[in-house]
């Protein structure tokens, strides 16, 4: 989900200042003018951005380190995150409501189109250097290349929405969840046992050398200082993100998702440029059509995406680190464009990214969440192998 680490090298102080002012203005806007729920979502997302940045919480780098150095700490944290999400989601989803409001899990069909989308998303992760949440928080912390990835992520997601009707016509299983088949009382222990099996299997492949991860830097000072300035250990991030996802579920009525916001942003730009939504099956009817007509601030996912970026900016300023330099070489630039398009297109076909499809999907015991990671993993392996052709380290 993230690029490899925070680079303590000269960056754009002007960008940090602009983002800080934007953070204050947006917080004031949501507090004063937006609906109460929108302000709550924004605050939750601020905490997500801070968590992701301080822990350098990674999916793409974690997979790459597994393939190249047999380091498994990052993947271990993903399994912990799924386990905690499952435990927290279970009481709420088993009842079907929270605070007298209905809630639904992230459950979607698992078909050919969904599998292909997850596969190319995995390749895009390694070319782009991040997935959805990673592109948000690294762009928010001032990484110029990740801003390019984010722009083409939105373009690819919009492109995917135009083709989605055809992909959904291909063979597919219906939306299936383990809890729907055996009940939550059995689904939770079965899933936790499976996660434990995956954990112990991974340890057999762990390198004997001590793993060196950004979050393993020596922490000094009291814990409250580390909490504000970082770096965070991965276990802190897993616990924090699981709790914040649960808060999203009980306030928004659905788990944390990201890529719908990118699809909507791409469609709004296309509309501004003269595209007619009536020409698309996806955008002509139902929920998508209504979302396109409304302000972007009415969309929960969009509000949270902005909040994650601002939260990462705040975390960067508190940590006193600098944003990364812009790599102006042609190879990384092409990889950012191609990777962004693959990320967006794949996410639209696959019902989300590492967060919306895998973490929230598997946490809801949805079959598609596990199919997603099963297909994205080999995509990451291929992406890791071809990075050298784009001058990527």
Mean pLDDT for all residues in the chain:
88
Report the domain count for the chain.
1
In a domain, 105, yes or no: yes
Give the Cα-Cα-Cα angle 211, 60, 63 (nearest 5 degrees): 50
In a domain, 211, yes or no: yes
pLDDT band at 217 (very low <50, low <70, confident <90, very high): very low
CA distance to 60, 122, 193, per residue, from 116 (Å): 18, 10, 28
Q: Taking 50 as the threshold, does the pLDDT of residue 132 lie above it? A: yes
Report the distance separating Cα 175 and Cα 114, nearest Å. 12
pLDDT band at 22 (very low <50, low <70, confident <90, very high): low
In a domain, 66, yes or no: yes
Q: What is the pLDDT of residues 291-310, one digit of tens each?
A: 898 888 789 999 999 999 99
Q: Taking 90 as the threshold, does the pLDDT of residue 109 lie above it? A: yes
The pLDDT of residue 32 is: 57
In a domain, 197, yes or no: yes
The pLDDT of residue 201 is: 93
Q: Taking 80 as the threshold, does the pLDDT of residue 15 lie above it? A: no
- Of 326, 324, 320, 237, the residue nearest 58 (C-alpha): 237
In a domain, 369, yes or no: yes
In a domain, 103, yes or no: yes
Report the distance separating Cα 81 and Cα 112, nearest Å. 27
CA atoms 359, 363, 365, 366: torsion sign: negative
- The parent domain of residue 304 ranges over 13-390
Residues 6+ apart with CB under 8 A from 210: none
pLDDT band at 141 (very low <50, low <70, confident <90, very high): confident
The pLDDT of residue 30 is: 59
CA distance to 48, 265, 361, per residue, from 167 (Å): 32, 22, 20
In a domain, 326, yes or no: yes
In a domain, 4, yes or no: no
């Amino acid at each position: 989900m993230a690029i490899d680490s925070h680079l303590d090298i000269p960056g754009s102080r002007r960008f940090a200042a602009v983002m800080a002012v934007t953070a204050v203005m947006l917080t004031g806007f949501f507090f004063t003018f937006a609906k109460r729920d929108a302000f709550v979502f924004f605050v939750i997302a601020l905490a997500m951005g801070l968590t992701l940045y301080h822990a350098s919480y990674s999916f793409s780098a974690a997979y790459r380190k597994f393939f190249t150095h047999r380091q498994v700490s990052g993947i271990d944290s993903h399994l912990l995150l799924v386990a905690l999400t499952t435990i927290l989601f279970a009481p709420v989803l088993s009842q079907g409501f929270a605070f007298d409001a209905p809630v639904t899990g992230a459950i979607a069909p698992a078909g050919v189109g969904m599998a292909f989308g997850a596969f190319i998303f995995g390749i895009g992760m390694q070319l782009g250097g991040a997935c959805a949440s990673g592109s948000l928080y690294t762009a928010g912390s001032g990484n110029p290349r990740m801003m390019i990835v984010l722009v083409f992520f939105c373009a690819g997601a919009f492109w995917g929405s135009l083709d989605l009707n055809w992909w959904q016509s291909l063979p597919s299983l219906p939306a299936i969840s383990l809890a729907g088949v055996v009940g939550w009382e059995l689904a939770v222990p079965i899933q936790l046992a499976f996660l434990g099996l995956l954990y112990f299997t991974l340890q057999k492949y762990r390198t004997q050398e001590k793993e060196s991860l950004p979050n393993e830097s020596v922490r000094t000072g009291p814990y409250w200082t580390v909490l504000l300035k970082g770096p965070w250990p991965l276990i802190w991030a897993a616990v924090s993100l699981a709790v914040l996802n649960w808060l999203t579920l009980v306030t928004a009525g659905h788990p944390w998702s990201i890529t719908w916001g990118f699809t909507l942003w791409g469609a709004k730009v296309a509309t501004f440029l003269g595209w007619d939504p009536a020409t698309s099956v996806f955008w002509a009817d139902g929920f998508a059509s209504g979302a396109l007509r409304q302000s972007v601030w009415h969309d929960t996912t969009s509000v949270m995406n902005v909040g994650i970026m601002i939260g990462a900016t705040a975390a960067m300023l508190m940590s006193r680190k600098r944003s990364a330099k812009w790599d102006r070489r042609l190879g990384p630039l092409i990889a950012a464009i191609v990777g962004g398009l693959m990320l967006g297109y794949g996410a639209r076909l696959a019902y989300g990214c590492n967060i919306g499809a895998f973490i929230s999907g598997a946490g809801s015991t949805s079959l598609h969440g596990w199919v997603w990671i099963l297909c994205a993993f080999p995509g990451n392996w291929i992406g890791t192998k071809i990075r050298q052709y784009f001058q990527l380290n």
